[in-house]
Structure 1
Amino acid sequence: MARYRGPKTKIARKFNDAIYGPDKTLAKKNYPPGQHGRGRRKKQSEYAIQLAEKQKAKYTYGLLEKQFSNLFDHASRKSGITGEILLQLLESRLDNVVFRLGIAPTRNAARQLVLHKHVTVNGDVLNIPSYSVKIGDVIAVREKSKSLEAITYSLSRGSATKYPWLEWNTSELSGKFMVVPTREEIPENIKEQLIVELYSK
Structure 2
Amino acid sequence: MKKKSRTKLSRRLGIDLTPKARKIMAEKPYPPGEHGPAQKRRAKVSDYKLQLMEKQRLRAQYGLEERQMGNYVRKAIQQHGNPADNLVRLLESRLDAIVYRAGFARTVEAARQYVSHRHIMVDGRWVNLPSQQIRLGQTVSVKEKSRALPVFISAKEEMVAQPPGYLQRNAEDMSVQMLYTPNRAEVPVSCEMLLVIEYYSRR
Give the equivalent residue in structure 2 for 1:167: 168
Give the equivalent residue in structure 1 for 2:145: 144
Alignment of 1:31-180 (within 5 A): 31-34=30-33, 38-158=39-159, 161-180=162-181
Percentage of identical aligned residues: 37
Q: Which runs of at least 4 in structure 1 moved beyond 4 Å after TM superposition?
A: 35-40
Report if the CA contact (8 A) 1:118-1:125 is conserved.
yes
2:8 to 10, 34, 39: 10
Distance 1:156 1:199, change over 3 A: same
Quote the Cα distance in structure 2 between the aligned partners of 1:170 and 1:191.
32
Letter in 1 for 2:84: G
Quote the Cα distance in structure 2 between the aligned partners of 1:158 and 1:88.
24
3-state SS in 2 of match to 1:135:
coil
Quote the Cα distance in structure 1 between the aligned partners of 2:94 and 2:181.
11
3-state SS in 1 of match to 2:162:
helix
3-state SS in 2 of match to 1:49:
helix
Q: Extract unaligned runs of 5+ from structure 1.
A: none
Quote the Cα distance in structure 1 between the aligned partners of 2:137 and 2:186.
18
Letter in 1 for 2:23: K
Deviation at 1:75, TM superposition (A): 0.9
Quote the Cα distance in structure 1 between the aligned partners of 2:161 and 2:177.
11
Deviation at 1:39, TM superposition (A): 4.6
**RMSD, aligned CA:** 1.9
Distance 1:161 1:30, change over 3 A: closer
Of residues 165-174 and 19-28 in structure 1, the stretch that sits farther from structure 2 once superposed is: 19-28
Deviation at 1:159, TM superposition (A): 5.0
Of residues 150-159 and 59-68 in structure 1, the stretch that sits farther from structure 2 once superposed is: 150-159
Deviation at 1:91, TM superposition (A): 0.9
Quote the Cα distance in structure 1 between the aligned partners of 2:192 and 2:160.
24
Of residues 57-66 and 178-187 in structure 1, the stretch that sits farther from structure 2 once superposed is: 178-187
Of residues 41-50 and 158-167 in structure 1, the stretch that sits farther from structure 2 once superposed is: 158-167
Quote the Cα distance in structure 1 between the aligned partners of 2:190 and 2:3.
22
Q: Extract unaligned runs of 5+ from structure 2.
A: none
Letter in 1 for 2:3: R
Quote the Cα distance in structure 2 between the aligned partners of 1:77 and 1:189.
24
Letter in 2 for 1:170: A
Q: Deviations over 1:27-65 (max 9, x none)?
A: 232222236994543221110010000000001100000
Quote the Cα distance in structure 1 between the aligned partners of 2:85 and 2:8.
28
TM norm structure 2: 0.90
Q: Deviations over 1:123-160 (max 9, x none)?
A: 11100011111111100111211111101111211156
Q: Deviations over 1:46-87 (max 9, x none)?
A: 100100000000011000000000111111111111112112
Quote the Cα distance in structure 1 between the aligned partners of 2:67 and 2:40.
33
Deviation at 1:167, TM superposition (A): 1.2
Report if the CA contact (8 A) 2:57-2:190 is conserved.
no
Of residues 91-100 and 160-169 in structure 1, the stretch that sits farther from structure 2 once superposed is: 160-169
